[in-house]
Amino acid sequence: MVRHAARMVRDGDLGRIRFAAVEHASGWAAAPVELGEHRQARWRTDPGVAGFPSVVGDLGTHAFHLLRYVTGLEATRVSAELDTLVPGRRVFDNATVRLTLSNGAPATLWASMAATGNEHGLRIRVFGDTASIEWRHEDPQHLTVRDLDGGTTILAQGMRTLSEDAGRLTRPGLGHPEGFLEAFANFYRDLADELRARRDGGPTTVRDLSFPTGRDGLIGVQFVEATAASHAADSAWVVPAFAHDKVGI
């Protein structure tokens, strides 16, 4: 359904993108779990391992790449405020980020590991001048589409009217939930197809909506660096390193 959302944006079904809001606000560390036997919490809140802007690299990059993937837009500048909500924690566990996208539209990103009571917390809303869409990780097989008059359509995984981008990766039929691990299988399949094509000298299989590359990983690191720099400058606007790069992404 994420791929279908991205296809709708690419096809202009939302019109011009005006605003986007993305968040990865989890409550997994709303208490000081790192002080107990939670091994994962120990390294994820250790500045020597995870870095002091831990929440941005840990959760914020997921939200950031979801924003990039669905909208097809890049961030040209960011303004970030990082906070530590759990007393005594040695890293930032909450981040509020404003972004300006490459079409000039504003966007917001909220990442938190201390969002009390929240589950996984990954969510995106994209607002165009003719329609908007919303997707939530906790209900992954549905995509909500709203029109100018407030009419709401719920698209479901497995519908025959979905784009080819969505249909080719759908395993169970309509009404059957698809597991979290299958999402990784879809990435691996696309990657394997391309590796096989290169090995055999065939035409590339890379699609407009396909697997991430090392370049996307670099952009994620540069996003973390930009948010840290902005926070250190009292949330001043910072132009991330990838915004200066003229090479196509």
Residue whose token pair is 């914020």: 60
Residue 195 lies in a domain: no
Instruction: Tell me the two tokens of residue 177.
Output: 């939930």
Residue 122 lies in a domain: yes
- So what's the pLDDT on residue 168? 87
Please state, in angstroms and rounded to a whole number, the distance separating the CA atoms of residues 107 and 100.
Answer: 6
Look at the chain and report how many structural domains it folds into. Answer: 1
Phi-psi region of 117 (alpha: psi -120 to 50; beta: other; left: phi over 0): left
Give per-residue burial for 3-12: e unless 16+ CB within 10 Å, then b.
Answer: bbbbbbbbee
Residue 22 lies in a domain: yes
- So what's the pLDDT on residue 78? 98
* CA dihedral of residues 86, 90, 94, 99 (deg, nearest 10): 160
What is the three-class DSSP state of 155? strand
Per-residue pLDDT of the chain (249 residues; tens, 9 = 90+): 999 999 999 999 999 999 999 999 999 999 999 999 999 999 999 999 999 899 999 999 999 999 999 999 999 999 999 999 999 999 999 999 999 999 999 999 999 999 999 999 999 999 999 999 999 999 999 999 999 999 999 999 889 899 999 988 887 777 777 777 788 898 899 999 999 999 999 999 999 888 899 999 999 999 999 999 999 999 999 999 999 764 433
CATH number for the domain harbouring residue 105: 3.30.360.10
Q: For residue 136, which phi and psi values (nearest 5 degrees)?
A: -125, 135
- So what's the pLDDT on residue 174? 78
Residue 159 lies in a domain: yes
Please state, in angstroms and rounded to a whole number, the distance separating the CA atoms of residues 243 and 102.
Answer: 9
- Please check whether residue 88 is in contact with residue 32, taking contact to mean a CB–CB distance below 8 angstroms: yes
Residue 82 lies in a domain: yes
Residue 241 lies in a domain: no
Residue 40 lies in a domain: yes
Residue 11 lies in a domain: yes
Q: Which domain holds residue 67?
A: 2-172+213-234
